């Protein structure tokens, strides 16, 4: 297969740049996409190549990202930084499907990636790009998962990493990962949006390579979530994808990837995408629902700390993606997130709170008549259940009301009993 040359293109003014220099923004301020000319590509040949790599046991293209490297970042295998990410399972939603009112509901579990979230798909590509550009240090702002992933991939590839997190506002599992993997962790007095603004300034001034999803290589890697779902479905296209939205890189990647497959003739329709935001952190939802200009949310709030983001960097790309796929945006309350999570967890699948916006949102859209109960829907679970144990325990002990107004509707309360058989019998109702 002939290598597809890529360049950067501004989403706002369409000015192009070659890849010789690191760039995240256009001169006009717009953010950049990695673009390839697909007009000469034989989609059938590409699909056959990707299918031939399915199930490979070793080597870079056994990764669920680099299997598709022609449309991700086409480098020789020995230049690729990988932890064999991807290859995550696509589950039947079970109880969570019944809860959402859907007969054909599947959940793609991105929490099964090496560091427990979808970020690994973007990070394998981002750190490969960091090495491509000769960077020594990488940095990110994070609500937790990006930093866990970046710290790991930086350690694997011999780069140092600097992490900017909002102090006290990220889940413990994620903070633990950042520290364990050796990321220099700076806790900012402020929220994620403050950290995001700061890290961009710092990377510019100190010549550090930025690994948030404003980096177009991150988006390319995350496209592989959608590619892999379609390959798992033998290239049958679901009617809908439902995906949580925070900094809005992931839905951007999903829609970009689907559009590319459609342009290549690999799929014959673009699935619709529903982006789900937490009601207290929902700038895209507000804009989309009210047809108003973009406005950041000043003090974003939600128990789903991964998506506690008021000023997402990829909102423009998100809107473009919604147009491509006839998408919708929905918002869900704190109670809806945690009840949906209880269902995902009780189905034996499990995921962190932000992930469960997919299920809460699917239910809401079915109830509203937007998604047909007979539709084939794929929800993306973005992070592992163990990332945020406090949220799980708080819900099941019904201790979240005072702070979040959340009741443990489906709580599985732990019980304290005496160490006697009689006490066990009483507890089991025998
Ligand atoms: C677990 C989890 N789910 C969802 C999201 C939202 O993804 P995005 O920022 O790409 O919209 C994030 C991060 O923002 C996350 O960590
Ligand atoms: N949830 C994210 C927020 C940053 O998102 P990114 O995709 O732009 O890196 C996180 O885990 O930090």
| pLDDT higher than 90, residue 1 | no
Measured from the CA of 250, which atom of ligand 2 is nearest?
7
The answer to whether residues 380 and 354 touch, using CB atoms and an 8 Å cutoff, is: no
Q: Grade residue 2 by pLDDT with cuts at 50, 70 and 90.
A: confident
Cα–Cα dist 170/188, whole Å:
11
The two three-digit tokens of residue 184, written as one number: 């220099």
Measured from the CA of 355, which atom of ligand 1 is nearest?
3
Measured from the CA of 196, which atom of ligand 2 is nearest?
4
Report yes or no on whether pTM surpasses 0.90: yes
Q: What is the pLDDT of residues 359-414, one digit of tens each?
A: 999 999 999 999 999 999 999 999 999 999 999 999 999 999 999 999 999 999 99
SS3 190: coil
Q: Where are the alpha helices (DSSP H) in 189-307?
A: 192-206, 216-232, 249-263, 283-290
Q: What is the pLDDT of residues 11-33, one digit of tens each?
A: 999 999 999 999 999 999 999 99
Residue to probe by mutation, ligand 1, list 145, 171, 224, 351, most atoms within 8 Å of CB:
145
Residues 6+ positions from 46 with CB-CB distance below 8 Å:
1, 70, 71, 264, 266
Q: What is the pLDDT of residues 142-197, one digit of tens each?
A: 999 999 999 999 999 999 999 999 999 899 999 999 999 999 999 999 999 999 99
Burial of 369 (0-12, 13-18, 19+ CB in 10 A): exposed
Q: Which residues of 336-359 are buried (b: 16+ CB within 10 A; e: fewer)?
A: bbbbbbbbbbebebbbbbbbbbbb
Residue to probe by mutation, ligand 2, list 225, 246, 275, most atoms within 8 Å of CB:
246
- How far apart are the two ends of the chain, measured CA to CA in Å? 67
Q: Measuring CA to CA, which residue among 144, 251, 151 is closest to residue 192?
A: 144
When pLDDT is averaged across residues 310-315 and rounded to a whole number, the result is 98
Q: Grade residue 297 by pLDDT with cuts at 50, 70 and 90.
A: very high
Distance 401 CA to ligand 1 centre (A): 24
Label residue 65 left, alpha or beta by phi (over 0 means left) and psi (-120 to 50 means alpha). Answer: alpha
* Predicted-complex ipTM score: 0.99
SS3 280: helix
Q: Which domains does the chain have, with CATH numbers?
A: 90-115+217-404 (3.40.50.1100)
């Amino acid at each position: 297969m002939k290598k597809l040359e890529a360049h950067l293109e501004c989403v706002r003014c369409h000015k192009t740049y070659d890849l010789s220099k690191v760039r995240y923004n256009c001169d006009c301020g717009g953010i950049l996409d990695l673009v390839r000319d697909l007009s000469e590509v034989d989609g059938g040949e590409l699909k056959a190549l990707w299918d031939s790599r399915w199930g490979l046991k070793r080597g870079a293209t056994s990764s669920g990202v680099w299997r598709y490297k022609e449309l991700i970042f086409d480098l020789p295998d020995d230049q690729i930084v990988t932890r064999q990410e991807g290859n995550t399972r696509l589950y039947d939603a079970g109880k969570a499907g019944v809860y959402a009112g859907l007969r054909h509901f599947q959940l793609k579990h991105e929490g099964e990636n090496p560091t427990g979230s979808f970020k690994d798909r973007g990070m394998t590509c981002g750190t490969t790009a960091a090495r491509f550009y000769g960077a020594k240090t990488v940095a990110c702002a994070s609500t937790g998962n990006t930093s866990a992933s970046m710290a790991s991939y930086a350690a694997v590839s011999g780069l140092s990493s600097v992490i900017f997190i909002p102090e006290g506002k990220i889940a413990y599992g994620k903070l633990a990962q950042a520290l364990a993997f050796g990321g220099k962790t700076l806790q900012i007095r402020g929220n994620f949006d403050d950290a995001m603004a700061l890290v961009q300034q710092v990377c510019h001034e100190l010549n550090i390579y930025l690994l948030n999803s404003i980096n177009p290589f991150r988006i390319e890697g995350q496209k592989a979530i959608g590619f892999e779902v379609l390959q798992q479905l033998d290239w049958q296209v679901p009617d809908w994808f439902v995906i949580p939205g925070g900094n809005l890189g992931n839905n951007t990647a999903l829609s970009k990837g689907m559009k590319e497959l459609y342009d290549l003739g690999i799929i014959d329709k673009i699935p619709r995408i529903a982006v789900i935001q937490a009601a207290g952190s929902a700038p895209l939802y507000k804009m989309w629902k009210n047809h108003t200009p973009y406005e950041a949310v000043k003090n974003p709030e939600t128990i789903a700390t991964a998506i506690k983001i008021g000023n997402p960097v990829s909102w423009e790309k998100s809107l473009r993606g919604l147009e491509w796929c006839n998408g919708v945006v929905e918002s869900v309350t704190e109670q809806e997130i945690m009840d949906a999570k209880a269902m995902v967890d009780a189905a034996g699948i499990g995921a962190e709170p932000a992930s469960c916006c997919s299920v809460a949102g699917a239910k809401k859209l079915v109830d509203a008549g937007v998604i047909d109960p007979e539709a084939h829907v794929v929800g993306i679970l973005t992070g592992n259940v163990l990332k945020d144990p406090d949220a799980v325990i708080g819900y099941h002990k019904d201790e979240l009301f005072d702070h979040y107004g959340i009741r443990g509707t489906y709580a599985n309360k732990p019980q304290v009993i005496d160490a006697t058989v009689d006490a066990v019998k009483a507890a089991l109702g025998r």
